[in-house]
Structure 1
Amino acid sequence: MKLSIRHTLIVLATLATISTSALAQYVWLDEKGNKQFSDQPPPASVPKNKILKFSGKIIDNQDSSTDADNSKAGTTKPADSLADKELAFKKRRDELAAKEKKDADEAKASAAKSDNCKRMREYKQSLDSGQRISQMDATGQKSYMTDEKRAQEQTQLSQNLSDCGN
């Protein structure tokens, strides 16, 4: 029973601590770097770049410092909204997916070209060997390649192999 009461007290203390910090409308860093929570505005001595939360709005110090720099220069850049950030994220994700797809397609095409070049080299070796090469004609009859046809094939194969870098 004592254990159950302890757990209940711990949970209640935790909830009380969390709920009191939720009531704070202002959060800032003091001169020692500690976070201060209050429902009252920070003192005037606290610089604006040390205020983290103001009236329920979270302040991004990096953006506020660049806004101050921009206002000095005479240009103002509106802060990116969550929708703009999500849109930019989706755009980057889509660009990355497109790049990966393009790289995969290029790798596939390169592999196919390499395989075709390998087959052409093997065919060239067969043609250069002088052995008789049989073919099937349109009717399905077996015939042998003539010397003229062999010369034509060798010429065409040499042109195709020039694309392979040989």
Structure 2
Amino acid sequence: MIRPAILLLALLTALPAAAEIYSWKDKDGRTHYSDIPPPSGPVKTLRGTPPPASAPQTEGEASDDAANEETAQPEAEQPVDPDTAFRQRRAEEAEAAAKAARDAAEEAEKQRFCTDARNQLTALDSGQRIARMNAAGEREFLDDTARAAESARLRQQIEQHCN
């Protein structure tokens, strides 16, 4: 006995959520919202199914509608469902945050590269003996020509990426 009553109560409370919401502007330019469409004029359905198409128009009515469409606001400026607008704003904010995070990570990587390159150049210019591992895994000391070539390469990279 209690289950049918709960089911009936749930169905009755869900009916208003399925109602259609219409929006239109009156002759004074005021926007109205209602669950009942206006008797005539352009109407926008905010929630629910769109209103049924009206009877075929005569040529005079078609030109009036065309004039109304030209003076109407663009699609992007017309009011939209608040939930849709909220989700769109959240998506744009998330995209902007992701872009900012990517930009910050790229900038940090660039700073790390520049710091490492400058440190290597300082070590090369100091005159210390520098050894590198070759392909066989053995230590090789840089001679003066290899040191000059490496120094020129680092200066070029610093010039291109760090200024």
TM-score by length of 2: 0.53
Report matched runs for 1:10-25 at 5 Å: none
Would you say how many aligned residue pairs link Structure 1 and Structure 2?
A: 104
| Aligned residue among 153, 157, 163 for 1:156 | 153
Secondary structure, counterpart of 1:160 in structure 2: helix
| Whole-angstrom CA distance in 1 between matches of 2:131 and 2:96 | 46
1:120–1:157 contact (8 Å) kept in structure 2: yes
| Whole-angstrom CA distance in 1 between matches of 2:143 and 2:43 | 77
Once the two structures are TM-superposed, the CA of residue 87 in structure 1 deviates from its matched residue by 1.8
Report matched runs for 1:20-59 at 5 Å: none
User: CA-atom RMSD, angstroms?
Assistant: 3.2
Larger relative contact order, structure 1 or 2 (CA cutoff 8 Å, min sep 6): 2
How far does the alpha carbon of each residue in 1:23-61 deviate from its partner, in whole angstroms, 9 at most, with x for none? Answer: xxxxxxxxxxxxxxxxxxxxxxxxxxxxxxxxxx999xx
Identity percentage over the alignment?
31
Structure (1 or 2) with the larger CA radius of gyration: 1
| Aligned residue among 101, 110, 113 for 1:113 | 110
Report matched runs for 1:87-166 at 5 Å: 87-162=84-159, 163-165=161-163
Query: Are residues 104 and 67 of structure 1, via their aligned partners in 2, closer, same or farther at CA, if it must alter by over 3 Å?
Result: farther
Once the two structures are TM-superposed, the CA of residue 76 in structure 1 deviates from its matched residue by 5.0
The AA in structure 1 aligned to 2:47 is: S
1:134–1:144 contact (8 Å) kept in structure 2: yes
| Whole-angstrom CA distance in 1 between matches of 2:26 and 2:91 | 29
| Whole-angstrom CA distance in 2 between matches of 1:148 and 1:93 | 58
The gaps in structure 2 that reach 5 residues or longer are: 1-19, 32-40, 49-79
The AA in structure 1 aligned to 2:162 is: C
1:137–1:143 contact (8 Å) kept in structure 2: yes
Note if 1:78 corresponds to 2:44: yes
Deviation >4 Å, runs of 4+: 63-67
Once the two structures are TM-superposed, the CA of residue 65 in structure 1 deviates from its matched residue by 6.8
Once the two structures are TM-superposed, the CA of residue 67 in structure 1 deviates from its matched residue by 7.3
The gaps in structure 1 that reach 5 residues or longer are: 1-56
When you count helix as a share of all residues, which structure comes out higher?
A: 1
The AA in structure 1 aligned to 2:46 is: D
2:68 alignment counterpart:
none
